[in-house]
Amino acid sequence: MSRFLYYFIFLTMFSNIIASVPKILLFESKKGAIPSMIAAVIIGTLLVYIIVKLFDAIPGKSLPEMLKIHTPKWFAYPVLFYLFLCWFTAGLITLITYVFLFITFFSPETSIVNTTFAFVLVISFGVLMKSRSMLYMAEIVIVLFVPLIFFLLIKFFANPKLDWDFIEISMMHANHLPSYSAFGAALYIFVGITNLVIFNKLFTKKHKMGWKQLLIIGFTGMVVLFTTYFVPIGYNGFEQIEDFTFPWVSTSDSIRMKYGLIERVIFIFILSFLGIAFVSLLLHWHVALKILESIFEFKRLKWKGKMLAPYIFVIIFVVISLVLTRKLTQYQLFVFSSYFYESLPIFFTVLIISLVIVKRRAKL
């Protein structure tokens, strides 16, 4: 299997450690969060396998190209618009979460509009990059930040402040029925593979997807989810953990590096995950932009030979981001994120049904 497919999956997995996923899992800690995570790992790994196999049927083509060739317009365009909304929303949630996090812990005096504008200005240039350049940028970020994240996670597990008694108490709630909200949040860590919707056109050979690849993806997903859930409990206790707005950031502030150049782990922690989340957000919005371009083809909108439509779409992304960041509170963002994660089973169903229809009509 191409290494870039692992990057898609791992970037989404790591970027959600300090985003909305842990908050939702911990909020559901007494309502079946643990069985929900187990179910999400099994089903998420299976979904990765199905999606890779379906895209393997038509290598070298993006989903918009497949739908336009093999399905009628009344089916192709509504499906593409729905998928665009999902990718745009995923990026928007990540963006607003990190703006709130940055203002809370780094620069509380800065205007939220200025902070958001600074973020989207950088993101806008990245979103407009070529798809192949996005892949190489993802690889560079993985190589730079993942070793640092592993080092930080070892610090979390090796620190004597991690109280295993709290984790044992949380394990006593493993006998509840799975929570749908927690299941949706946990399933999100496997959504990275769906970036193949656009990036599949760069892969002209079939991917080898056997039990070893599935074992790597499933095992990594399980480690990420259980680390995401149990480490904040081990540091902060089980009873009050659901009240934390950013449980992982509060946890990282409990640790010091005695001989480090920077004593407080929180600064290294946030900057590392910001780097990962930044690329994850770029991938989401790059896919959203490409899908939107496939729906609205303004071929006459040109200036000096360059298509203007992508720039207009990115400006719309920026305006929506600025408006929503000002309007939403942290609680509203939490509710909004919960609804989005709960809709993920529908998203996967629509994507898989579309690919199956394409495969059958293409007679493959």
Q: Which two tokens stand for residue 35?
A: 């069985």
pLDDT at residue 287, as a whole number: 92
Q: 193: helix, coil or strand?
A: helix
From start to end of the chain, where are the E strands?
Answer: 302-303, 306-307
pLDDT at 261: 62
| CA 7 – CA 19 distance, rounded (Å) | 18
- ∠ at Cα 290 (287, 97), nearest 5°? 40
Cβ-count burial 248-283 (b if 16+ within 10 Å, e if not) = bbbbbbbbeeeeeeeeebbebbbebbbbbbbbbbbb
Query: The pTM is what?
Result: 0.89
pLDDT in tens, the chain (364 residues): 778 888 888 888 888 776 778 888 888 888 888 899 999 999 999 999 999 989 888 888 889 988 888 888 899 999 999 999 999 998 888 888 888 888 877 777 778 888 888 888 888 888 888 888 888 888 888 888 888 888 888 888 888 888 888 888 888 888 888 888 889 989 988 888 899 899 888 888 877 778 888 899 999 999 988 888 888 888 888 777 777 777 777 777 777 776 666 667 777 777 777 788 888 888 889 999 999 988 887 777 777 767 778 888 888 988 898 888 888 888 888 888 889 999 999 999 999 999 999 988 876 6
Q: What is the 3-state secondary structure (H, E, C) of 78-124?
A: HHHHHHHHHHHHHHHHHHHHHHHHHHHHCCCCCCHHHHHHHHHHHHH
